[in-house]
Amino acid sequence: MASKKPLVVVTRKLPDPIETRMMELFDARLNVDDHPMSKTDLIEAVKTADVLVPTVTDRIDAGVLAQAGPNLRLIANFGAGVDHIDLATARERGITVTNTPDVLTEDTADMAMALILSVPRRLAEGERLVRAGKWGGWGPTFMLGHRIWGKRLGIIGMGRIGQAVARRAKGFGLSIHYHNRKRLHPEIETELDATYWESLDQMMARMDVISVHCPHTPATYHLLSARRLKLMQPHAYLVNTARGEVIDENALTRMLQKNELAGAGLDVFEHEPAVNPKLLELDNVVLLPHLGSNTIEGRIDMGEKVLINIKTHADGHNPPDRVLASML
């Protein structure tokens, strides 16, 4: 007799090939119209599900997990970041949490590099000008930006994505610097021609471009505080494709308004999907709707990892992408 398929509740619409396979393998409840689930919806889901498949838009906090039924034993997150899940409470309740690491590295690094290029060269500002019909033709001093060749790039968080950005940036002639909890192996430093800074403050004060690639944890909340942002030089640029909460967004906005920073490229926001309305008024900022990992290939790769994690867990084995207690 075939064993009962686990009841899997998926909180958002996933790529069609992944949803099809989900239906084949499990007793799946899909979110056909892709509406973001309310807290009430999430509570109802955890009461009945064997497996919950949330995304970054779902706040799986202690209040939600307190209502979880006895059958919920796996949260198979569709995404690498897990700051939206209360990992401590999940662990206390015996719920395994998995994520989808390694598949978003190149896509996110591409987006970071795009912002590193577009902000100093004023690409978004120029595109808006053309669309508005306000371009009067080429001029020798028209919309001058800054070259990035020969400039110093400071990377905050030198994990997989940070290193992928460094490889790209090196090809564009940027000098690579980084701050990380742990220094990289000398072979990797040599490969990237990267300079390590133990002091984030000292690095911030000397870079032409800062790119953020650390996760959002209690330790990194407002890592780039008002005080630390003020260490940056007025000609410098800030790029963030990690998590909005890492930066004090109000402080950043004030500095950009006063031209205390040359510009910023933001793919993530502190209170997304809400965006500080004052940022919307600024020409020296490129604003994107959290597109860092948005490729068809990446989304399918993420979904396949979710499937593997659920199937492995259902078969009684430890899933390959468990989020361990060390991440708390």
Q: Is residue 2 part of a domain?
A: no
| Co-location of 315 and 266 in the same domain | no
Angle at CA 42, nearest 5°, toward 87 and 50? 70
| pLDDT tens digit sequence for 228-246 | 999 999 999 999 999 999 9
Nearest to 108 by CA among 298, 327, 265: 298
Query: Which residue from 126, 124, 120, 106 is spatially nearest to 241, judged by alpha carbons?
Result: 106
Q: Are residues 226 and 240 in the same domain?
A: yes
- Catalytic residue (choose from 44, 189, 191, 272): 272
3-class SS at 98? strand
Q: Report pLDDT digits (tens) over 53-110.
A: 999 899 999 999 999 999 999 999 999 889 999 999 999 999 999 999 999 999 999 9
The pLDDT assigned to 326 comes to: 44
pLDDT for residue 81 = 87
| Distance between CA atoms of residues 193 and 177, nearest Å | 9
Does residue 290 carry a catalytic annotation? yes
- Residue of 21, 213, 216, 290 marked active site: 290
243 is a catalytic site residue? yes
Whether 69 and 121 share a structural domain: no
pLDDT at position 324: 79
179, 53: one domain: no
Same domain? For 18 and 154 the reply is: no
Starting at the earlier edge strand, list the strands of the sheet with 209-212. 194-196, 175-179, 152-156, 209-212, 237-240, 263-266, 285-287
Count the helices and strands in the chain (H runs, E runs). 13, 12
Residue 324, both tokens: 């361990």
Secondary structure of residue 116 in the 3-state scheme: helix
Same-domain check for residues 160 and 28:
no
Q: What's the domain count of the chain? A: 2
Judge if 21 and 161 occupy the same domain. no
Whether 44 maps to a domain, the answer reads: yes
Q: What is the CATH number of the domain that holds 137?
A: 3.40.50.720
Q: Does pLDDT of 116 surpass 80?
A: yes
For residue 179, indicate whether it is catalytic. no
Residues 31 and 162 in one domain: no
Going by C-alpha positions, the residue among 57, 56, 46 that lies closest to residue 82 is 56
Catalytic residue, from 216, 243, 299, 313: name it: 243
Residue 93 has φ and ψ, to the nearest 5°, of -95, 5
Residue 57 domain boundaries: 7-103+295-327
Q: Is residue 93 part of a domain?
A: yes
Q: Does residue 236 share a domain with residue 119?
A: yes
